[in-house]
């Protein structure tokens, strides 16, 4: 589980921004969203330009150098904060795996260039490397024989030393190394995806994919048809070959037509969501940016209920939809507001003791959570 994340000097985060998930309040309702002492499901609000999308990119910066999974480097073309003179952006992740805390810190000059990285497991610094001086070390048992300095073969000078260990070391079976493996596996299985307007994603898998072909490939056609019907969309779906690839078609009495030609923007967006939902049980951490841009408010609520039931996967959404601000869906410590470099849950933005009966949407619109 991700407990806490912080970033500084990245995009619009000139000052340090902290996203805390390990301080849930003592609410007795919707307690399924707290797992291992951390908020596992949440929704993030903020005005345009407040940093919702940039928070997602900051959290997922880690996959750019630690994994071989899909990356959206084009989203990181403007990297450092444009108002700061600091030469690097700095990131810190705090995780908890089976009671063992893992802290990963690093700095970058740009999306591809590490300046330093440090890994601390169970209060022990187990990996440290300075890419400017070429000095560093590891005390992970089983990794001691790896060449760890800047004398690595050409092309590997800037390779993350954590990734280098992950790919090359045969680690001993001990508590520290188990936490290391859990950490790298967590990062490998992070997933971020965007709404239909960009149809872009990062993490979890590799390569561009057609979500309609993915639904067919994963043998989810009937489930998808039922899923659409539950949302009031009654299509009879069939898979037909198009130039060697199976595609989803809608079968009507008079004609069979491609799903992509007849489905509305909202329905196509829903298909994209459903495709990724079928994979979310394999994911460790999911971030969906502006997930309900095309949805009716009831559909938005239904999808929150759907992801709320996922066990073992942290899921966070960004939205402007205040109809989701309800204690029936989540709870005050799972709704976050981002503004002025601060990310704070509702219950910490007011002196009022928030209870289940409170109308969070009405309070939000009345400015009760403004600072």
Q: Are residues 191 and 262 in the same domain?
A: no
Which residue reads 């619109």 in tokens?
Answer: 365
State residue 371's pLDDT score.
75
Q: Is the pLDDT of residue 205 over 70?
A: yes
What is the 8-class DSSP label of residue 43? E
Last residue of a domain, one of 232, 251, 269: 269
More confident residue, 198 or 283: 283
Q: Are residues 220 and 243 in the same domain?
A: yes
pLDDT, average across residues 343-358: 95
- Alpha carbons 35 and 356: distance in angstroms, whole number: 20
Q: Are residues 30 and 50 in the same domain?
A: yes
| Domain contains 250 | yes
Residue ranges with strand state E in 76-174: 89-97, 100-110, 113-121, 124-130, 135-138
Q: Are residues 187 and 261 in the same domain?
A: no
Phi, psi (deg, nearest 5) at residue 287: -130, 120
State residue 90's pLDDT score.
98
Q: Are residues 184 and 41 in the same domain?
A: yes
Q: List, for residues 206-256, the tens digit of each pLDDT value.
A: 887 688 999 999 999 999 999 999 999 999 999 999 988 899 999 999 999
| Domain contains 370 | no
Number of C-beta neighbours around residue 81 at 10 A: 17
**Most trustworthy range by pLDDT among 151-165, 188-202, 263-277:** 263-277
State residue 154's pLDDT score.
52
Q: Are residues 250 and 313 in the same domain?
A: no
Q: Are residues 9 and 89 in the same domain?
A: yes
- For helices 265-277 and 221-230, what crossing angle results, to 10°? 130
Find the domain containing 20 and state its range: 2-205+279-365
Q: List, for residues 34-65, the tens digit of each pLDDT value.
A: 999 999 999 999 998 899 999 999 999 999 99
Last residue of a domain, one of 221, 246, 269: 269
Q: Are residues 335 and 246 in the same domain?
A: no
Do the Cβ atoms of 344 and 357 come closer than 8 Å? Answer: no
Q: List, for residues 126-185, the tens digit of each pLDDT value.
A: 999 999 988 899 999 999 878 766 555 555 567 899 999 999 999 999 999 999 999 999
- Alpha carbons 18 and 4: distance in angstroms, whole number: 7
- Alpha carbons 305 and 300: distance in angstroms, whole number: 9
State residue 297's pLDDT score.
86
- Alpha carbons 254 and 131: distance in angstroms, whole number: 65
State residue 158's pLDDT score.
79
Token digits for 193?
A: 């995806």
Q: Is the pLDDT of residue 9 over 80?
A: yes
According to DSSP, the residues that pair with 344 across neighbouring strands are 337
Nearest to 336 by CA among 321, 347, 327: 347
Last residue of a domain, one of 239, 269, 299: 269
Nearest to 275 by CA among 329, 204, 334: 204
Q: Are residues 199 and 215 in the same domain?
A: no
Q: Hey, is 88 helix, strand or coil? A: coil
Mean model confidence pLDDT for the chain: 93
- Alpha carbons 202 and 192: distance in angstroms, whole number: 5
| Domain contains 274 | no
| Domain contains 76 | yes
pLDDT, average across residues 281-302: 90
Q: Are residues 82 and 135 in the same domain?
A: yes
Q: Are residues 327 and 264 in the same domain?
A: no
| Domain contains 57 | yes
State residue 293's pLDDT score.
78
pLDDT, average across residues 338-343: 93
| Domain contains 319 | yes
| Domain contains 54 | yes
Give pTM, 2 decimals.
Answer: 0.94
What is the 8-class DSSP label of residue 87? S
Q: What is the CATH number of the domain that holds 198?
A: 3.40.50.300
Q: Are residues 18 and 110 in the same domain?
A: yes
Number of domains in the chain: 2
Do the Cβ atoms of 123 and 28 come closer than 8 Å? Answer: no
pLDDT, average across residues 276-292: 93
pLDDT, average across residues 3-16: 97
State residue 142's pLDDT score.
94
| Domain contains 56 | yes
């Amino acid at each position: 589980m991700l407990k806490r994340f912080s970033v500084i000097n990245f995009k619009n985060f000139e000052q340090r921004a902290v996203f805390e998930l390990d301080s849930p309040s003592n609410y007795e309702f919707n307690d399924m969203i707290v797992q291992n002492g951390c908020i596992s499901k949440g929704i993030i609000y903020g005005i345009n330009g407040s940093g919702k999308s940039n928070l997602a990119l900051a959290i997922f910066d880690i996959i750019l150098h630690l994994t071989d999974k899909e990356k959206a480097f084009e989203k990181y073309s403007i990297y450092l904060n444009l108002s700061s003179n600091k030469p690097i952006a700095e990131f810190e992740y705090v995780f908890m795996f089976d009671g063992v805390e893992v802290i990963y810190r690093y700095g970058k000059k740009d999306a591809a260039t590490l300046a330093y990285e440090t890994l601390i497991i169970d209060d022990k610094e187990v990996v440290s490397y300075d890419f400017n001086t070429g000095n560093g070390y590891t005390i992970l048992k089983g990794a001691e024989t790896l060449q760890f300095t800047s004398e690595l073969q050409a092309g590997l000078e800037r390779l993350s030393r954590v990734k280098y260990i992950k790919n090359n070391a045969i680690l001993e079976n001990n508590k520290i190394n188990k936490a290391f493996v859990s950490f790298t596996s967590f990062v490998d299985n992070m997933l971020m995806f965007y709404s239909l307007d960009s149809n872009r994603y990062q993490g979890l898998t590799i390569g561009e994919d057609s979500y309609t072909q993915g639904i067919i490939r994963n043998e989810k056609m009937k489930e998808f048809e039922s899923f659409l019907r539950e949302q009031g969309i009654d299509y009879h779906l069939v898979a037909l070959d198009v130039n060697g690839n199976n595609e989803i078609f809608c079968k009507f009495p008079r004609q069979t037509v491609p799903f992509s030609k007849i489905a509305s923007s909202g329905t196509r967006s829903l298909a994209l969501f459903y495709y990724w939902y079928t994979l979310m049980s394999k994911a460790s951490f999911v971030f969906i940016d502006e997930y309900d841009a095309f949805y009716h408010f009831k559909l938005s609520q239904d999808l929150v209920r759907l992801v709320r039931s996922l066990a073992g996967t942290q899921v966070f959404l960004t939205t402007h939809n205040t109809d989701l601000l309800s204690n029936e869906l989540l709870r005050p410590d799972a709704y976050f507001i981002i503004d002025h470099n601060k990310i704070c849950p509702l219950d910490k933005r007011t002196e009022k003791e928030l209870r289940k009966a409170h109308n969070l949407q009405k309070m939000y619109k009345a400015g009760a959570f403004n600072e």
